Amino acid sequence: MSVMDKDDAEVLEGLSSQLAMRTLPRLGTLYSALIAAAITAVIVVVTPAAGIAGSLVIWYLMYMLVQTVWSFRVEGRRFAVDRLATTLVWTAFLIALTALVWILVSVTIRGLSAFSWDFLTGTMRNVSPLREGGGLAHALVGTLLQVGMAAVIAVPLSILVAIYLVEYGRGKLATFVTFFVDVMTGVPSIVAGLFIYTFWVLTFGFERSGFAASLALTILMIPVIVRSTEEMLKIVPNDLREASYALGVPKWKTIVRIVIPTAFGGIVTGVMLSIARVAGETAPLLLTTFLSQSMNPNLFTGAQASVPTFIWDQISSGTPASIDRAWAGALVLIIVVVMFYALARLVAKLTAPARQ
């Protein structure tokens, strides 16, 4: 409005019409950055401020100040606030991205030194921590078996719970279930491990095994899948349920044939993310199956290795060769998780409801 309030002659000077307004030059952002750099240079020279990190912080604050003040003078308050907010959002995005890229790059670079075909196919049996070589085939098999079994138990259970909560649950029982799912979301993974250890191993006397580890992972997966499935079922429009009822289709068939297929892509994504999450768990596995240097394809007897416990073990050994193996193990774990995620995206895409 402030622009409109000015004298007509002044407003129209250099502008195409009454509706037009003054704006920063097209490269205003770049100019602001350069001016901020100049101010920063002066501050660093004149004052005791020094160092790259300090200079960057000063430059960033100056950049925001210069651009906001300039924009406020030329474009007005709304555009100045818009530019400031845009800058802050981009900053937050870049900080988050930096952490992610940093992890990926450093794990890839350090992990590649010990990474090879032999590393994927060999085990640590009779490999001294001091020697190079060895592999994590035993750990990879362990992780796939343990996480696979956890998924086999957790996925149907969680999806049924979510269906109950969204389609049937009313009153006290539903409130209770929701409450306990919330509580389970907050359970630290080591507590899940301890629970299975006391419940399965100490109370019932079963031996520690990969299966015990699967049970601990199940506890961690259930709340994640219940929550995501619940959200996906909730966004299925009620219109579709009613359309199905109006055809004389019973409720259970409506859920199985209409509601679940409509939400399928989202449910699969939630399941895959929960798998990716528990694939990196270490503490509950140490309590329930500990670790192993040899291949043990039997989920139900004896200690079984897994990729996270492999990494933990190699780091604990502390020799240069074993630390290289730990990094390579981390790389393998990231690749496995990324593969799961890519698979989830693919399935979600293939099963998504047809778009208009």
Partner 1 sequence: MAKRIDIKDLDIYYGDFKAVEGVNIAIEPKSVTAFIGPSGCGKSTVLRSINRMHEVIPGAYTDGEILLEGDNIYAPDVDPVNVRGTIGMVFQRPNPFPTMSIYDNVAAGLKLDRAKGKGKNLDDVVEKSLRGANLWEEVKDRLDRPGAGLSGGQQQRLCIARAIAVEPQVLLMDEPASALDPISTLAIEDLVHELKRNYTIVIVTHNMQQAARVSDTTAFFNLASIGQPGRLVESGPTETIFTSPVERATEDYISGRFG
Q: List interacting residues with partner 1 (CB under 8 A).
A: 170, 237, 239-250, 253-254, 257-258, 261-262, 264, 353-356
Q: In this structure, what token pair is assigned to residue 186?
A: 């907050």
CB of 229 to partner 1, least distance (A): 17
What three-state secondary structure class fits 194? helix
Q: Least distance from C-beta 156 to partner 1, angstroms?
A: 21
CB-wise, 262 or 306, nearer to partner 1?
A: 262
| Alpha-helical regions (H) of the chain | 2-5, 8-12, 28-46, 52-74, 77-112, 117-121, 137-163, 171-185, 189-196, 210-234, 238-245, 251-254, 260-279, 283-288, 307-317, 320-351
- For residues 74 and 31, what is the distance between their CA atoms, to the nearest angstrom? 14
Of 127 and 249, the one with the shorter C-beta distance to partner 1 is 249
Tokens of 264: 């399928």
**Shorter beta-carbon distance to partner 1: residue 258 or 336:** 258
Least Å from the CB of residue 255 to partner 1: 11
* Smaller CB separation from partner 1, 27 or 352: 352
| DSSP line for 126-183 | T--TTSS----HHHHHHHHHHHHHHHHHHHHHHHHHHHIIIII--HHHHHHHHHHHHH
What minimum distance in Å lies between the beta carbon of 252 and partner 1?
Answer: 10
As a whole number of angstroms, the distance between CA 224 and CA 215 comes to 15
Residue 93 or 245: the one with the smaller Cβ distance to partner 1 is: 245
The full DSSP string for 304-345 is ---HHHHHHHHHHH--HHHHHHHHHHHHHHHHHHHHHHHHHH
Nearer to partner 1, 182 or 242 (CB): 242
Chain CA centroid to CA 215, Å: 23
Question: Considering beta carbons, is residue 297 or 353 the nearer one to partner 1?
Answer: 353
User: What's the CA gap between 238 and 166, in Å, rounded?
Assistant: 11
* Nearest distance from C-beta of residue 159 to partner 1, angstroms: 17
We find the least distance from the C-beta atom of residue 247 to partner 1, in angstroms, to be 4
Identity of the residue, 25 or 353, whose beta carbon is nearer to partner 1 in the bound complex: 353
Distance CA 225, CA 273 (A): 9
> Measured from the CB atom, is 229 or 304 closer to partner 1?
229
Shortest gap between Cβ of 236 and partner 1 (angstroms)? 9
Report the nearest approach of partner 1 to the CB of residue 249 (Å): 5
How far apart are the C-alpha atoms of 197 and 202, rounded to whole Å? 6
Tell me if 167 sits within 8 A of 251, measured CB to CB.
yes
Q: How many CB atoms lie within 10 A of CB 348?
A: 17
The alpha carbon torsion through 194, 200, 201, 205 (nearest 10 deg) reads 160
Q: Minimum CB separation from partner 1 for residue 34, in Å?
A: 51
